[in-house]
């Protein structure tokens, strides 16, 4: 069984992703409600893949994704974004890719696309 860390500041998104990965795919899912929690969990859990919102409220996309990559140099990072008040989805996704995300998707991503992106990084 693979471990997926789901990090998003929106509890509804975390719930949906948890259902998708745990119920539909049978993976162990660990949830983080923000960048700081995700980074702390990375150190202790060592997930197979991280599925995360690229735009977290307390860090820039570059800071956050680079910190994830530093904490987990060989793990998969799938970043998603719908953009924000001051950034378009395309800009946020571009920054996430530049910062080291393995896969970058625009929200809302189709389940099949998201599962395929995550599947590339599972044992």
Axis crossing angle, helix 89-99 with helix 61-71, rounded to the nearest 10: 30
The proportion of the chain whose per-residue pLDDT surpasses 90, expressed as a percent, equals: 63
pLDDT band at 1 (very low <50, low <70, confident <90, very high): confident
CATH of span 3-119: 3.40.50.2300
* Mean pLDDT over the full length of the chain: 90
Cite the beta strand spans of the chain per DSSP E.
Answer: 3-7, 28-32, 49-53, 76-81, 103-106
Domain range list for the chain? 3-119
pLDDT digit string, tens, across residues 52-100: 999 888 898 889 999 999 988 888 999 998 776 666 778 888 888 999 9
Under DSSP, the state recorded for 109 is P
Angle CA(96)–CA(27)–CA(73) in degrees, nearest 5? Answer: 35
The predicted structure's pLDDT at residue 91: 80
Smallest CA-to-CA distance from 76 within 22, 115, 111 is with 115
The predicted structure's pLDDT at residue 74: 82
* Block residue for tokens 């946020």: 92
């Amino acid at each position: 069984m693979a471990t997926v860390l789901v990090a998003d500041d929106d509890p509804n998104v975390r719930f949906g992703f948890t259902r998708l990965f745990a119920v539909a795919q049978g993976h162990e899912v660990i949830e983080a409600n923000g960048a700081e929690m995700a980074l702390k969990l990375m150190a202790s859990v060592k997930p197979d893949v991280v599925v995360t919102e690229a735009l977290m409220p307390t860090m820039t996309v570059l800071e956050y994704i680079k910190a994830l990559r530093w904490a987990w140099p060989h793990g998969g990072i799938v970043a998603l974004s719908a953009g924000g008040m001051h950034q378009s989805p395309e800009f946020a996704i571009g920054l996430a890719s530049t910062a080291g995300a393995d896969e970058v998707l625009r929200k809302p991503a189709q389940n099949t696309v998201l599962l395929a992106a995550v599947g590339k990084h599972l044992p």
